[in-house]
Structure 1
């Protein structure tokens, strides 16, 4: 009789323990609430912008795909990467600081409002990025025949009305577009150019804005 009573007491105690564990589990589930698909579990990842947008769209050191219309930022090790940003300025290029001398081309970034941007305010301000191609040729190099600026080592030809146009020093500009002068020095004033100078070229920017060009 005593053995049966002890067994009954043990069974009731075990049942109460099982019910208690089940109840605790139910309460925990209710407190947590239902799980939602795609919900961010770690708050440290909330608000992270998609790849390709940093503090500044096309910031210095970042890369763009080929083309100068509607530029796209891509990883620099991507097969689509064509050029790297060497300088980045806000506003219009005509009113801002000049690009570095060996810049290959300039990307003009129009003000727009993409779905995601650098600071989350829904806008990318107007600006410009000075670009250097990841692979040659580099038209911005001295004598390369291109780039947004004329620098020492570049060649030019006269196009009339006192204007000149940069052209490749190796004559690769095509028929009738061969070089006629080469910029050999940059000075602060025309009077500082050496005697053999045959043409004065406006280089713009810096403390030596005048280019002394000799005939070829």
Structure 2
């Protein structure tokens, strides 16, 4: 989840993304955001459990190279599907805000049939871990989406990345997203960074920590 970002003064002069606060007067700043990488492999392997592979409210186990579907009552169950979509993540709906990670499901042939039609379609499952910590929670430092309450740090090249607000992440938090609005003009006056969130309120208003 990355986006190029620029900061422009009223006269059209481009500013660097993370300037000292003293240099921010009169400067609008916009940044794309990216979550820390989560435990999501590029494909999953059907296990034969359930009529639809990783349907909503079903569970998966963790593996070193793949995930398998297991009963949610199993001791191997590690995460639950909170939403399931066909196609590519970049082309489909966004996962719920508190999703911990996303599973990318590879298309499979008749040997991995899920419902009798001879194929498992390509898609993705939005997953929520059964046990804390939850990186998708506000301030948790991960998840596929940036939400109000999350903290970010400058990652260079006009981008920011999420990190845990409590300082337990790999990077120290520099800004916290305090609100989400439809336009930058609606952000509080203390806002120093605009973070791209997506959705119906796509602008995140962030303050320095």
Query: Is the TM value for this pair above 0.5?
Result: yes
Higher percent of residues as strand: 2
Specify whether residues 53 and 82 from structure 1 end up closer, same or farther in structure 2 by C-alpha distance, changes over 3 A only: same
How many angstroms apart in 1 are the aligned matches of 2:94 and 2:132?
22
Query: How far apart are 1:115 and its partner, in Å?
Result: 2.7
Partner of 2:177: 183
Specify whether residues 168 and 184 from structure 1 end up closer, same or farther in structure 2 by C-alpha distance, changes over 3 A only: same
Map of 1:115-134 to 2, 5 A cutoff? 115-134=111-130
Higher percent of residues as helix: 1
Which runs of 5 or more structure 2 residues have no equivalent in the other structure? 1-46
- Aligned match of 2:133 in 137, 141, 150? 137
Query: How far apart are 1:67 and its partner, in Å?
Result: 3.8
- Aligned match of 1:158 in 147, 154, 159? 154
How many angstroms apart in 2 are the aligned matches of 1:145 and 1:130?
17
Query: How far apart are 1:64 and its partner, in Å?
Result: 0.3
Query: How far apart are 1:110 and its partner, in Å?
Result: 0.6
Residues matched between the structures, number: 163
Q: Is the 8 A contact 1:68 1:107 kept in 2?
A: no
Bigger mean CA deviation after superposition, 90-99 or 69-78? 69-78
Specify whether residues 69 and 138 from structure 1 end up closer, same or farther in structure 2 by C-alpha distance, changes over 3 A only: same
How many angstroms apart in 2 are the aligned matches of 1:94 and 1:211?
20
Partner of 1:168: 164
Q: Is the 8 A contact 1:60 1:88 kept in 2?
A: yes
Which runs of 5 or more structure 1 residues have no equivalent in the other structure? 1-49
Map of 1:1-216 to 2, 5 A cutoff? 52-54=49-51, 56-67=52-63, 69-113=65-109, 115-174=111-170, 177-204=171-198, 206-216=199-209
Task: Give CA-to-partner distance per residue, 1:136-180, whole Å, 9 cap, x none.
Answer: 110000000000000000000011221000000001113xx1000
Residue 76 of structure 1 aligns to a residue whose secondary structure is coil
Q: Is the 8 A contact 2:54 2:69 kept in 1?
A: yes
Larger Cα Rg: Structure 1 or Structure 2?
A: 1
Q: Is the 8 A contact 2:112 2:120 kept in 1?
A: no
Specify whether residues 85 and 111 from structure 1 end up closer, same or farther in structure 2 by C-alpha distance, changes over 3 A only: same
- Measured on the aligned residues, the alpha-carbon RMSD in Å equals 1.5
Query: How far apart are 1:70 and its partner, in Å?
Result: 3.1
